[in-house]
Each structure stands twice: as C-alpha cells, then as structure tokens.
Amino acid sequence: MISLLFNSVATPFWKWQRCGKYNLWTPNHPLSFLTISAVARKKMARVLVGVKRVIDYAVKVRVKPEKNGVVTQGVKHSMNPFDEIAVEEAVKMKEKKLASEVIAVSVGPTQSQEVIRTALAMGADRGVHVEVPAAEYDLLQPIHVSKILAKLALDEKADLVILGKQAIDDDANQTAQMTAAVLDWPQGTFCNKVEKTDAGLTIAREIDGGLETIKTKLPAVLSADLRLNTPRYATLPNIMKAKKKPLKKVTPKDLGVDTTPRIEIISVEDPPVRQAGAVVADVDALVAKLKAGGHI
C-alpha cells in the first residue's frame, strides 16, 4: 500500500517535479513534502475454508436398526463447531486486511448448502458446494474430501486453507493433514493463535505438553482448535444478505476426484451401557466387592 501525505499549501502543477524512483509527480515547494510507504505486507489473495454439515451437538445420536450407520433423517443438523472457528478466523483475517476473499466449501448432499449459507452469513464472500448424493456420502472418507479440497485450493488459487481440526461426527482428525500432503504445502494443526508476519505465519499450537510456536510460509493449511477464537453469531440482516451471495455447485467428477469407497462399514453399534454404581459402607466392603467382581 502506498500512502501519500501532502501539506495544506497549494502548489501549482507547473512547480511539481518528477520522483523517478516511484514514477510520481511531487510538489516542488519548500513547505511541501511527500512521504511514501513502500509495500509493507502482502495481502493473502484468497482463503479457502472447509465447512461440514453434522448432526447438532445437542442431539442424542441413535444407531439405525440395521446397524449400518446412524439416524440422520428428521434430525437437526448444523455446522461442525470446529469449522465455525475456522470460518471466524478467515473472516477476521479479511477484516484485518490480510485476506481479500474468503471462500466456504462443503462436500455432501444438497442439504450441505445450509452450512455454506451460514458461513456466508458469518462473513465469507462466496461458496462452493461439491455435491455428493446422500447414498454415497455415508461412505465418503477424509482422503476423498482432502483431494477435493486440494483441487479446489489450486483451482481457486488460494493462499491459505483453514479447516476445523476434526468433525464431531467421525472425530477422524485427518482432513487438514492429508490436504496439506496432497498439496505438498506446510501445515499448522491444532491452532490456538495465528499471526501474519512478513515471512508468512506464526502459529501457536495446542499440544499435550502445552503450547508449541511454529513459523511457516505461505501457501499453507491450518486446522483450528477450540481456543483459537469465539465464532460470531450470524445476524438476521447478514443471513438475508447471504442468500444473494454466489454459490457454485460442482461434483467430484468435475474436479477429477475418484470417490470410490476404500473401506466397508461392517457394523455400527451403541457404546455399552455403563453399569450403575453402588454405595459401600467402608473400605473393607469396597475391597470385598472388587474381589467378588474379579477386578482385583
């Protein structure tokens, strides 16, 4: 960004002189001055954000009678909470003039457009829906989604891909890592804090032992952790505006991505019911009960 600052003294144009370094004309007046700030930081052209439609976290998940999946019909869905954090981070980057465009991408059936519209209401500029029929979606795996996101990142000329660290339905925690591998881009996973620098990004990562700080150049892939930020609520005016924002529909075939299943689901079962506890009178009774149950 080049900033020009002139004094208030009016200078006739015939008294201006040429500044060859910047190819600009400047006032040739003893009280006039020109300050030029060279480009201090480069804008990120585009940020690609992945959003997934999942069963709402407040809903009790039920297994199908056939034990081949979970019941999704007639069940409330919403955007994956970690993806909300990813969208918020991308929108904040745009607000700080670090990004010029935020693109929200979702892979799934027609209903996935709901979470794209939510991302648009939060501040994303446009959406891309990679439509996968509901019958095929149940067998879609992280490797498929990673290849789709990688292809879109290249097609859209994205400088940064931000994803939630995991989805609350399958808890795979694989998509960001595999997307980075397919693109051969550096990755910053479990992000707690992201800062833009002249050289790229400085990232604080949540690890078992505390926080790890790393630096990476762009382009890169990030995965958002819980404490990265607090997502904003989509206001009613922004929800209405989101309906008019562009949303493109494509298929995996259009992107040249093969989504043939690589695994077969054998069965899906509820976790075993936890046995109720019992109150014992003293330590001796506790030890006796543990021995009787074969625990010690």
Under the banding of pLDDT at 50, 70 and 90, the label for residue 43 is: low
Q: Do the Cβ atoms of 51 and 29 come closer than 8 Å?
A: no
- Give 276's contacts (C-beta < 8 A, 6+ positions apart): none
What are the tens digits of pLDDT across the range 144-178?
Answer: 999 999 999 999 999 999 999 999 999 999 999 99
What are the φ/ψ torsions at residue 285 (nearest 5 degrees)?
Answer: -65, -35
pLDDT at position 156, please?
96
Q: Inform me whether the pLDDT recorded for 254 exceeds 70.
A: yes
- Closest alpha carbon to 194 in 204, 184, 206: 204
What are the tens digits of pLDDT across the range 58-98?
Answer: 999 899 988 888 888 889 999 999 999 999 999 999 999 99
Q: Which CATH class is domain 43-250?
A: alpha beta
pLDDT at position 292, please?
86
Helix axes 113-122, 81-95, angle to 10 degrees: 40
pLDDT at position 107, please?
98
What are the tens digits of pLDDT across the range 182-197?
Answer: 999 999 999 999 999 8
Q: Is 58 left (phi over 0), alpha (psi -120 to 50) or beta?
A: alpha
Can you tell me the distance from the alpha carbon of 296 to that of 289, in angstroms, rounded to the nearest whole number? Answer: 9
Residue 33 tokens, joined: 């001055």
pLDDT at position 69, please?
86
pLDDT at position 42, please?
52
| Amino acid (one-letter) located at 77 | H
Element (H, E) at 196: strand 187-196
Can you tell me the distance from the alpha carbon of 233 to that of 71, in angstroms, rounded to the nearest whole number? Answer: 28
Q: Where are the domains of the chain?
A: 1-41, 43-250
Q: Inform me whether the pLDDT recorded for 33 exceeds 80.
A: no
Element (H, E) at 5: none
